[in-house]
Amino acid sequence: MTDALTYPDVVSFAVPFFIAAIFAELFWIRMTGRGGRYETRDTVTSLIMGAGNVAAGIALGFVAWGFFMVLWNLTPLDLGASIPIVVLCFVLDDLRYYWVHRFGHRIRWVWASHVNHHSSQHYNLSTALRQTWTYTFTFMMVVRAPLILLGFHPAMVLFCGGLNLIYQFWIHTEAIGKMPKWFEAVMNTPSHHRVHHGRNPRYLDANYAGVFIVWDKMFGSFVPEDPQEKPDYGLVHNIGTFNPIRVAFHEWVGIWRDIRQPGLSLKQRLLYAVAPPGWSHDGSRETSDQIKTRATKRG
Amino acid sequence: MPLHLLVPLVVGGIFAIMIATVLMGMNKPRRFETDKEAVYAWSREYPRASVLQTSLAANKSAALIRSEEGLGLVWAIGADSTARFLAGAVVSQTVTGLTLELPDYAAPGVQLELEPDEARDWAAQIGEIG
């Protein structure tokens, strides 16, 4: 059994590249007058969220790592660390990412962690770094369990997850229109991911892919970018704060307030935590499905 | 990457990017040039709440919206906008206008710069429903 496998922490090594790329995008927008928008406080908030995500990983990473090592010690399988196995791990971990991301939009408990990534009304490279501080509390690390049990070493799985995150950085831009057709067909691209960040009814809950857009095509969640309908970025109800603490925790607070409402049944309290975002016991709010239906009826 | 390198890199990077955006003039706040623009921004948040009346602030940073579903506010946040209904809002007068405390963790309050007459009028309207 490969116990002492180690890989570089690719995300921290990518930090200088992230900073340089943001500068490049800023100068491109400034010089050409197109390719997106930046706003100072929005950008700083996004960057602080990114730094907080790294800090949360350092502080709470032991939880997922401990869980993975328990599984690793349980499984009799060990696929080793050859290049083909790393490539296979990367592809399967991207499938894992697709489902975690989909859960992140369809289960409010997971959305509470992921919502902050969508809380900017801008779409630029700094938005890519607007990451969660509370992922550990979603318990979505369990979705990686099959990979570990199949014999992929936990260090390799986390390494592939880091590469996945780095890939997703460059697609958070309006400076790139479309990539070549073959690339758009297989890979997640700025165009596909702009759709994912759109709050337009037709773009809600679409394009969950991390690296390979084929998962969305396979599982029926792919929506192409319509040149006639520019994505309107942000949340269905946009937040009114740049305070990173509020950005990080606002949906958790929302869940807490909702489940404590007087007069609810136990089932209703539970549904406020696990039903799709926008669900309410009295129908006073709208889920993304209801928003889409209303928009379709309106034509 | 060791923390003694990562921390200064991250802090320095954030600071440098912040300065660059300021120098490039990317810190200008949103302004609603017309009532129509304010209503459009309101409708982004509440497409089902038909607008009956709009009062755009003199400095164009916010608008009081009277809709079929109640009184609301749309306001500039950075280069963008957001909106909320004002039920449960606590309003207090300041030297430069009004402060609104909202019962919403994701939008906890708004500082409104208003003309003195405007501030009195808005405070009276918001006070009625607060």
**Of B55, B69, B75, residue with least CA distance to B125:** B55
Calculate mean pLDDT across residues A265-288: 97
Domain definitions of chain B by residue range: 1-28, 35-129
CB contact under 8 A, B110 and A240: yes
Look at residue B130 in the predicted model and tell me its pLDDT: 53
Query: Which is it for the CA torsion B113, B117, B121, B127, positive or negative?
Result: positive
The model's confidence at residue A3, banded by pLDDT at 50, 70 and 90, is low
CA angle A31, A34, A38 (to 5 degrees): 85
Look at residue A222 in the predicted model and tell me its pLDDT: 98
Look at residue A24 in the predicted model and tell me its pLDDT: 97
Look at residue B129 in the predicted model and tell me its pLDDT: 60
Q: Find chain B residues with C-beta within 8 A of A51's C-beta.
A: 10-11, 14
The model's confidence at residue A1, banded by pLDDT at 50, 70 and 90, is low
CB contact under 8 A, B17 and A47: yes
Calculate mean pLDDT across residues A95-103: 98
Look at residue B128 in the predicted model and tell me its pLDDT: 66
**Strands across the sheet with B62-67, in order?**
B51-56, B62-67, B70-77, B80-85
CB contact under 8 A, A39 and B79: yes
pLDDT tens, residue by residue, A149-168 = 999 999 999 999 999 999 99
For an interface test with A, the pick among B11, B82, B102, B112 (most A C-beta atoms closer than 10 Å) comes out as: B82
What mean pLDDT is reported for chain A? Answer: 96
Calculate mean pLDDT across residues A95-101: 98
Structure-block tokens of residue A104 = 């992140």
Q: Find chain B residues with C-beta within 8 A of A26's C-beta.
A: 17, 20-21, 24
ipTM associated with this complex: 0.94
pLDDT tens, residue by residue, A39-56 = 999 999 999 999 999 999
Tokens 């990317």, residue? Answer: B26
CB contact under 8 A, B9 and A246: no
In this structure, which CATH number among 1.25.40, 3.30.450, 2.40.30, 2.30.29 belongs to the domain B35-129? 2.30.29
Query: Is residue A81 pLDDT above 90, yes or no?
Result: yes
The backbone torsions φ and ψ at residue B92, rounded to the nearest 5 degrees and listed phi first, read: -140, 145
Candidate from B13, B79, B82 with C-beta closest to A19:
B13
Tokens 């979603």, residue? Answer: A138
CB contact under 8 A, B9 and A16: yes
Asked if A15 and A129 touch (Cβ cutoff 8 Å), the reply is: no
Query: Is residue A87 pLDDT above 90, yes or no?
Result: yes
CB contact under 8 A, A22 and B17: yes
For an interface test with B, the pick among A27, A45, A232, A237 (most B C-beta atoms closer than 10 Å) comes out as: A237
Q: Find chain A residues with C-beta within 8 A of B24's C-beta.
A: 26, 30, 38
Q: How far is A157 from chain B (nearest CA, A)?
A: 19
CA angle A273, A164, A239 (to 5 degrees): 40
CB contact under 8 A, B77 and A238: yes
Look at residue B73 in the predicted model and tell me its pLDDT: 97
CB contact under 8 A, B106 and A54: no
What is the block-wise mean pLDDT of chain B (130 residues), using blocks of 10 residues?
A: 91 97 96 97 93 96 96 97 96 95 96 95 82
Q: Is A35 left (phi over 0), alpha (psi -120 to 50) or beta?
A: left
CB contact under 8 A, B26 and A234: no
Percentage of chain A beyond pLDDT 70 is: 99
pLDDT tens, residue by residue, A180-234 = 999 999 999 999 999 999 999 999 999 999 999 999 999 999 999 999 999 999 9
Residues of A with CB under 8 A from a CB of B: 9, 12-13, 15-16, 18-19, 22-23, 26, 30, 37-44, 47-48, 51, 54, 121-122, 126, 232, 234, 237-242, 246, 249-251, 253-254, 257
**Of A278, A281, A231, A2, residue with least CA distance to A115:** A278
Look at residue A297 in the predicted model and tell me its pLDDT: 83
Look at residue A41 in the predicted model and tell me its pLDDT: 98
For chain B, the distance separating the N- and C-terminal CA atoms, rounded to the nearest angstrom, is 52
Q: How far is B11 from chain A (nearest CA, A)?
A: 9
Q: How far is A200 from chain B (nearest CA, A)?
A: 10
Residues B121, A283: Cα–Cα separation, whole Å: 34
Residues A124, A51: Cα–Cα separation, whole Å: 17
